[in-house]
Amino acid sequence: MLIWLSYIHFHLWLRVGYRHIATIGPLFLVQSIAGLVIGLVVMVIRRVWAAVLGAGFAVATLAGFLISVEHGLFNFTDSWSAPDAHLAFVIEIVTVVVLGVAGVLCLAGSVPEAETAHS
């Protein structure tokens, strides 16, 4: 899901023209690259800290979008009518939920089971 988000941000940067927006353009490119790297780390490492990192990244991306829509960010105001805005929003929410559940499952799997006494 993080890699999908990275693709969306890269597409917006490259094809839609976000690269021409001061400050926001470079941030979209950084978000795309970082999301790709974090997505690969989450897939390969499969540890609690990787799930937390991925979920935190998705939350930060989501927060940046919502701040940009509601108040503007770096002299740029985004819109819900922007290309892929709704899709990215849903993917970000699902990413946070999925990685949150994955983190909990990792924690549950790492807790040693209590030894039971056999008579």
Looking at the domain assignment, is residue 95 inside a domain?
Answer: yes
Q: What is the pTM of this model?
A: 0.82
Whole domain around residue 61: which residue ranges?
Answer: 2-108
pLDDT of 113: 59
C-alpha angle with apex 82: 84 to 51, nearest 5 degrees? 45
Residue 67, pLDDT score: 95
Which residue, among 24, 27, 1, 5, has the nearest Cα to 85 in the 3D structure?
5
Question: Is residue 116 situated within a structural domain?
Answer: no
**What distance in Å separates the CA atoms of residue 40 and residue 93, rounded to the nearest whole number?**
19
Report if residue 63 sits inside a domain: yes
In-domain check, residue 114: no
Kindly tell me if the per-residue pLDDT of 109 is higher than 80.
no
Would you place residue 119 in the very low, low, confident or very high pLDDT band (cuts 50, 70, 90)?
low
Question: How do residues 13-62 score in pLDDT, each as one tens digit?
Answer: 998 888 999 998 999 999 999 999 999 999 998 788 899 999 999 999 99
- Among residues of the chain, what percentage have pLDDT more than 90? 63
Number of domains in the chain: 1
Tell me, yes or no, whether 91 lies in a domain: yes
